[in-house]
Amino acid sequence: MGRILHFGLGNFARAHLLDYTADAGGWDVVGVSLRSTTIRDGLAAQGFAYDLCVQGQGVKRINVLDDVLVAPDNPAAVLAAMKAADIISATVTEKGYHLDAQGQLDLADPAIAADLAGQGPQTLIGFLAHHLAARSRPATVLSCDNMVGNGDRLQAAVTDFAQAAGLAINTKVTFPNAMVDRITPATTDAVRALSGDPMAVPTEAFREWVIEDNFAGPRPDWPDVKFVSDVDPHELRKLRMLNGAHSLMAYAGLARGLEYVHQAVADPVLRPLVTQAMAQAGRTLPLSVQDQVPAYADALLARFENPDLKHRLDQIAMDGSQKVPYRFVATLRDGEAPAIAEGLRAWIAFCISQVGQGHQLNDPKAEDIARAARSDNPTRALLDLVGAADLAPLIAG
Ligand code: CS2
């Protein structure tokens, strides 16, 4: 029996990593919540099993979680549990990596600074650096977050932290890069009522996982996972086409008074923009995946059209400062993509309008965004915030 210790038990992990691992058999998972006790309490009350409501396929009971630890309750217990894990994985979203606009670990970030100064770690990065410095057997650290080079970035952040903390990591550790995909909306009361499980997770039938073949030890026999030597082309395809289109629909769709992805993709103004955005993003991809672009774009349109998922645009709109660099900015630097430029303009307009209405943005950089939106040149200041000052002429034009 192998063991995974997983940081971040939001709906995505419960619909993706845990579903695949349940299918594989022979492994169990210990979860770690970095902040709240809600998910631990809810799952503990039902023996850590929950319903995965797979749209169009029915309900699947997932029974692979063994325990959930809440890090602030007892950081030492988390460090002890990490020792027993063969694989340490994470879905903490982009902001859980505490990177600056250049992709380096932000040592001035209050949570990272507290981990460097404090007693027990509070962040994924702090936990990994402390654990790996004390570990003697090989470890695989698997990022399942939506970022280009997610494994490389995690490794760089952990290395930077270890250096700043004076920790030496001497054991063999690998950080495979991975592309993860499954559209997983937040759970609603309707989903809970329908399944009868307060911890139910709604998701689509489609799922995809491409992982760099770089494990330091054993791994589950995950079904349908593609192991490759280079994940980047797959990651770029997914981030620039799926997530790029998602963020475009979110910012432009909210501005048009829409609520859900299936409404945005049916909107007469947005639909052509979305198809163009995917085709234009597709042209910036590496040659090795170019031939997949048309079929992938068609499949994405069908996934977006799914009316039963009820995927909220405001869920996708959150954390824009973390998402915009991978979803729009990099694409615009790599090729001509006017529809993607519309997406970036829509994010800027969204920030200005939300701040103008006195709303607090759901974004780790909410305060910086508010300051930028109120400045003399909001477009310029917001682009600066996402490391994209060079795109100012394109966006203004
Ligand atoms: C979405 C993603 O919330 C968002 O920003 O774009 O969570 C998206 O649903 C997943 O990446 C699909 O795999």
pLDDT in tens, 103-142: 899 999 999 999 999 878 999 999 999 999 999 999 999 9
Same domain for 222 and 248, yes or no, is no
For residues 349-371, b (16+ Cβ closer than 10 Å) or e, as one string? Answer: bbbbebbeeeeebebbbbebbbe
Which pLDDT score is estimated for 101? Answer: 77
Question: In this model, does residue 179 exceed pLDDT 90?
Answer: yes
- Nearest atom, ligand 1, residue 208 CA: 13
Span 205-259, pLDDT tens digits = 999 999 999 999 999 999 999 999 999 999 999 999 999 999 999 999 999 999 9
Which pLDDT score is estimated for 109? Answer: 95
Which pLDDT score is estimated for 103? Answer: 84
Same domain for 268 and 356, yes or no, is yes
Spatial separation of the C-alpha atoms in residues 375 and 365, rounded to whole Å: 15
Quote the domain boundaries for residue 183: 2-229
Tell the residue nearest (CA) to atom 8 of ligand 1: 183
Pocket test for ligand 1, best of 12, 247, 274 (most atoms within 8 A of CB): 12
Tokens 């939300």 — which residue? Answer: 354
Same domain for 386 and 311, yes or no, is yes
Same domain for 257 and 382, yes or no, is yes
Please tell me the total count of domains within the chain.
2
CATH of the domain at 130: 3.40.50.720
Of the chain, the percentage scoring pLDDT greater than 70 comes to 100
Same domain for 200 and 332, yes or no, is no
For residues 215-247, b (16+ Cβ closer than 10 Å) or e, as one string? Answer: bbeebbebeebebbeebbbbbbbbbbbbbbbbb
Same domain for 166 and 275, yes or no, is no
Span 75-88, pLDDT tens digits = 999 999 999 999 99
Spatial separation of the C-alpha atoms in residues 219 and 216, rounded to whole Å: 9
Å from CA of 182 to ligand 1 middle: 8
CATH of the domain at 354: 1.10.1040.10
Pocket test for ligand 1, best of 94, 146, 147 (most atoms within 8 A of CB): 146
Residues 191-210, mean pLDDT to the nearest whole number = 97
Strand order in the sheet with 178-181: 178-181, 208-212, 226-228
Tokens 């997932």 — which residue? Answer: 62
Tell the residue nearest (CA) to atom 10 of ligand 1: 183
Which pLDDT score is estimated for 368? Answer: 97
Q: Residue 311 in contact with residue 187, Cβ under 8 Å? A: no
Same domain for 169 and 244, yes or no, is no
Same domain for 171 and 318, yes or no, is no
Spatial separation of the C-alpha atoms in residues 256 and 190, rounded to whole Å: 25
Same domain for 92 and 181, yes or no, is yes
Our measurement of the distance from residue 18's CA atom to the centroid of its chain's CA atoms, rounded to an integer in Å, reads 15
Span 45-75, pLDDT tens digits = 999 999 999 999 999 999 999 999 999 999 9
387 phi-psi bin (left φ>0, alpha ψ -120 to 50, beta other) = left
- Summary mean pLDDT of the chain: 97
Å from CA of 358 to ligand 1 middle: 27
Same domain for 209 and 241, yes or no, is no
Å from CA of 296 to ligand 1 middle: 16
Helix axis angle for 75-83 and 124-134, nearest 10°, is 50
Å from CA of 12 to ligand 1 middle: 9
* Residue type (1 letter), 309: L
Residue 299, both tokens: 């499949």
Tokens 């950080």 — which residue? Answer: 175
Å from CA of 183 to ligand 1 middle: 6
* Residues, the chain: 397
Q: Residue 312 in contact with residue 249, Cβ under 8 Å? A: no
Q: Which of 161, 195, 229 is the last residue of a domain?
A: 229
What are the two backbone dihedrals, phi and then psi, of residue 105, each rounded to the nearest 5 degrees?
A: -60, 130
Same domain for 185 and 248, yes or no, is no
Which pLDDT score is estimated for 34? Answer: 97
Tell the residue nearest (CA) to atom 1 of ligand 1: 316
Same domain for 171 and 114, yes or no, is yes
Q: Which of 210, 229, 248 is the last residue of a domain?
A: 229
Q: Name residues contacting ligand 1 (CB within 6 A).
A: 146, 181-183, 242-243, 246, 315-316, 323
Among the residue ranges 144-148, 246-250, 393-397, the one predicted with the least confidence is 393-397
- Nearest atom, ligand 1, residue 146 CA: 11
Residues 27-31, mean pLDDT to the nearest whole number = 98
Tell the residue nearest (CA) to atom 4 of ligand 1: 316
Residues 168-192, mean pLDDT to the nearest whole number = 97
Q: Which of 229, 250, 274 is the last residue of a domain?
A: 229
Tell the residue nearest (CA) to atom 12 of ligand 1: 183
- Nearest atom, ligand 1, residue 12 CA: 7
Spatial separation of the C-alpha atoms in residues 207 and 101, rounded to whole Å: 30
